[in-house]
Amino acid sequence: MIEEFKQQIKFYLDENETKIKLVWEDLSEDDIWRRPNETTLAPANQLIHLTGNMRQWVLTSLGGQPEVRARDEEFAIRGGRTKADILDAFLEVLAFAKTYLQDADNLLRPITVQGHQTSELGVWIHMAEHLSYHTGQLVFFAKQLHPKQYDFYGDWDLG
């Protein structure tokens, strides 16, 4: 059961990584900082936020690394980082998370993250859900700027 769970989580981490890379490629340096209005986030903020969230939930809560997250800054930043730097930071944290997932064997272990009592299982479910949520926002944003049909599923028979 644990191996199946890890395979399923990895599948969704990989799927979201592919989607993010594809849409990120189509966004310009200016696009990534564009906010449709003041109540929304620019794509750069979305990816910076995902990086901070994964770092906190996986690297810190499961991996024991020091807490370095400044959550409010993830939303407030308005520039100063390149498209490549933002993506590289995200991919680095995601790669660590995937490596850590391979060793996940105590899914019922209690974990506290962001003041929330959960388990290692809960951390992985949160990570996959949170990543999917923001990936959908990034795809939606990219399609609004650059109308395009992305082929996320290759030769799958989607019925």
pLDDT tens readout for residues 71-122: 999 999 999 999 999 999 999 999 999 999 999 999 999 999 999 999 999 9
Residue 130 lies in a domain: yes
CATH of the domain at 30: 1.20.120.450
Contacts of 56 (CB under 8 A, 6+ apart): 67, 69, 113, 114
- CB of 130 closer than 8 Å to CB of 58: no
Domain count within the chain: 1
| Domain of 75, in residue numbers | 2-145
Rounded Cα distance, 62 and 104, in Å = 9
Rounded Cα distance, 63 and 9, in Å = 17
Rounded Cα distance, 52 and 32, in Å = 17
Residue 121 lies in a domain: yes
Where are the alpha helices (H) located in the chain, listed in sequence order? 2-26, 43-54, 71-76, 83-102, 120-145
List pLDDT tens digits, range 27-51. Answer: 999 999 999 999 999 999 999 999 9
Residue 110 lies in a domain: yes
Residue 29 lies in a domain: yes
Residue 16 lies in a domain: yes
Is the pLDDT assigned to residue 158 strictly greater than 90?
no
Confidence (pTM): 0.94
Rounded Cα distance, 58 and 127, in Å = 8
Residue 99 lies in a domain: yes
